[in-house]
Amino acid sequence: MKKVVLGAALVALVSVPLGEQAVVAAPSAAPAVAPAVAGAQAAGDPSVRLGSKGAAVMKLQKKLKSLHYEPGRSDGRFGGQTRAAVWAFQKINGLPRTANGTVGAKTWKALEKPKVWKSITPKKRREANRVEISIKRQLIVVYKKNKIALITHTSTGSGRYEDGAVSTTPRGYFRTYRKIRGLRVAKLGTLYNPIYFYRGYAMHGSPNVPLYPDSHGCARLPFGTDMVMFRLVPIGWQVYVK
């Protein structure tokens, strides 16, 4: 992932030494007043969150998109897909996350010099076209020709005992073997645009993709991102779950 400088530069902190503000006045004139700029900080990008609208949100969306996250359309509306993209970015950059996906000063700063995702697939077994699912980070990263094509937030197996079994996402090496465009109603729930990689386990869209593992074992995707994934990943690609 390349470092990308924000298209609109942040306004710099302006500090003018008072010694350079001296003004020579006539004896009868009132004392000159030095401009009140020393130590003053110009406003930067505003804090935005789920429900926010405007230019700052559009800037955020465009930046995330350039870094291969999937915030949805760059329309200046902070919806659920943008929030999920923010969560994914904050995870990789070691930033705290909130339920509404707040983007404050620390996240804006990190967007200037974002951290690079390090592949979790062992080098000897990496294929140029692959999908990596990180259970620890709750992230999915798609590589196309050994270059990152998509980074997304996910929610995997909850680890709870439910419906007669422990909800666990299988670990190891797999391959995508089946895709179903649209809706599929399964025994354990409804799947949107599923891409199966092992038995009944799939990466699929869901209306509920929380910040914690919550699925029966599949890797859930935010609405909108599931369709991007569906179009991007064909049958036969390597899937590595760690």
11 within 8 A of 42, measured Cβ to Cβ: yes
What CATH topology corresponds to 48-116?
Muramoyl-pentapeptide Carboxypeptidase; domain 1 (1.10.101)
Confidence of residue 105 (pLDDT cuts 50, 70, 90): very high
Report the C-alpha gap between 232 and 88 in whole angstroms.
18
Mean pLDDT computed over every residue of the chain:
86
More confident residue, 64 or 4: 64
- Whether 216 is catalytic is no
Looking at the chain, which runs of residues are DSSP E strands?
130-134, 139-144, 147-153, 161-162, 165-166, 172-175, 178-179, 183-186, 189-198, 201-205, 219-221, 238-241
* pLDDT of 207 strictly over 70: yes
pLDDT value at residue 189: 87
210 and 84 in contact (C-beta within 8 Å)? no
User: What residue ranges do the domains of the chain occupy?
Assistant: 48-116, 123-241
Confidence of residue 43 (pLDDT cuts 50, 70, 90): low
Structure tokens at 162: 């439910």
Domain 123-241: CATH architecture, name and number where available: Beta Barrel (2.40)
C-alpha–C-alpha distance, residues 99 and 45, integer Å: 20
Catalytic residue among 68, 153, 204, 216: 204
Active site annotation includes 68 = no
Q: Closest by alpha carbon to 210, among 151, 153, 135?
A: 153
Helix (H, G, I), strand (E, B) or coil at 63: helix
Q: Which three-class secondary structure string do you get for 97-164?
A: CCCCCCECHHHHHHHHCCCCCCCCCCHHHCCCCEEEEECCCCEEEEEECCEEEEEEECECECCCEECC
Question: What predicted TM-score, i.e. pTM, was given to this entire model?
Answer: 0.82
Write down the catalytic residue from 68, 153, 216, 218. Answer: 218
Q: DSSP assignment, residue 69?
A: B
Residue 156 has pLDDT above 90, yes or no: yes
* Helices (runs of H) and strands (runs of E) counted in the chain: 4, 12
Q: Which of 191, 215, 216 is nearest to 205 (CA)?
A: 191
Task: List the beta bridge partners of residue 161.
Answer: 166
* Residue 100 half-sphere exposure toward CB, CA atoms < 13 A: 10
CA nearest 224: which of 111, 71, 14?
71
